[in-house]
Chain A
Amino acid sequence: EAQVTQNPRYLITVTGKKLTVTCSQNMNHEYMSWYRQDPGLGLRQIYYSMNVEVTDKGDVPEGYKVSRKEKRNFPLILESPSPNQTSLYFCASKTPGRDGYTFGSGTRLTVV
């Protein structure tokens, strides 16, 4: 089954403790991206990757890092999480020439 898999689904952590949210897709998509969703603000893009070793900033990259060492994986790294990064995070992927993005099930992160 074609899918984007995020882990974990839920995470509660403390300020400053480094964490990684994993994202994996099995569709051989070149393009992957990360979004955060906050009430009233819709989905905002954090980072995107056009292909392996090619990443770029979205609209809200501050406080986040990403890496794309292989096509299927695109982890989101929070080196020093802060409470304002409490949010619902989505990973998505897309294949060239197709219009729709496939989203993962989301990761609800709480930073206390």
Chain B
Amino acid sequence: GQSLEQPSEVTAVEGAIVQINCTYQTSGFYGLSWYQQHDGGAPTFLSYNGLDGLEETGRFSSFLSRSDSYGYLLLQELQMKDSASYFCAVRDRDNQGGKLIFGQGTELSVKP
């Protein structure tokens, strides 16, 4: 089966850089996605890595290495509003890509 592992909590200070890791065990997937969720609200899509390497979107970057079964989300110039839960997710290559599997989430706390 598929599984993704993330740290449960990360704490950082405003203005700093933080990296949230995601390691996975999966037989095949289309790519690694990241979502942000504030206080039980709707998860919102942040980024996607279909290929190995780094993708940059403003203050957020995401990285994937399929050979290492590993990815990460990098948040730069942290702001208080970045305090949220962050989830990595993969779309299973079986079942026509219909299955989306999430990690358990990382709660990021940004301190002043």
Contact of B99 with A59 in the complex, beta carbons under 8 Å: yes
**Distance between Cα atoms of A106 and B43 in the complex (Å):** 9
Per-residue contact bits, chain B 1-20, to A (CB 8 Å; 1 contact, 0 not): 00000001000000000000
Contact of A44 with B31 in the complex, beta carbons under 8 Å: no
Which of B35, B42, B105 is close to A104, meaning CB atoms less than 8 Å apart?
B42
Given A42-B87, A100-B33, is A56 in contact with B104 using a C-beta cutoff of 8 Å? no
Contact of B100 with A33 in the complex, beta carbons under 8 Å: yes
Which of A35, A44, A56 is close to B98, meaning CB atoms less than 8 Å apart?
A56
**Distance between Cα atoms of A23 and B8 in the complex (Å):** 30
**Distance between Cα atoms of A99 and B55 in the complex (Å):** 13
Per-residue contact bits, chain B 66-106, to A (CB 8 Å; 1 contact, 0 not): 00000000000000000000010100000110111111110
Among B48, B102, B103, the one with the most A-chain Cβ atoms within 10 Å of its Cβ is B102
Contact of B99 with A48 in the complex, beta carbons under 8 Å: yes
Given A43-B102, A56-B98, is A88 in contact with B45 using a C-beta cutoff of 8 Å? no
Total interface residues on B, CB under 8 Å, equals 24
The prevalent SS among residues of B at the interface is mixed
**Distance between Cα atoms of A95 and B48 in the complex (Å):** 14
Contact of A99 with B48 in the complex, beta carbons under 8 Å: yes
Give the distance to chain A from B7, nearest Cβ to Cβ, in Å. 13
**Distance between Cα atoms of A45 and B33 in the complex (Å):** 15
Among B33, B50, B99, B103, the one with the most A-chain Cβ atoms within 10 Å of its Cβ is B99
Contact of B48 with A100 in the complex, beta carbons under 8 Å: yes
Given A48-B98, A56-B95, is A42 in contact with B103 using a C-beta cutoff of 8 Å? yes
Contacts A31-B98, A90-B43, A99-B33 known; list 12 others, CB within 8 Å: A33-B98, A42-B105, A45-B99, A48-B100, A56-B95, A100-B33, A101-B33, A101-B35, A101-B43, A103-B42, A103-B44, A105-B41
Residues of B near any A CB (own CB < 8 A): 8, 31, 33, 35, 40-45, 48, 50, 87, 89, 95-96, 98-105
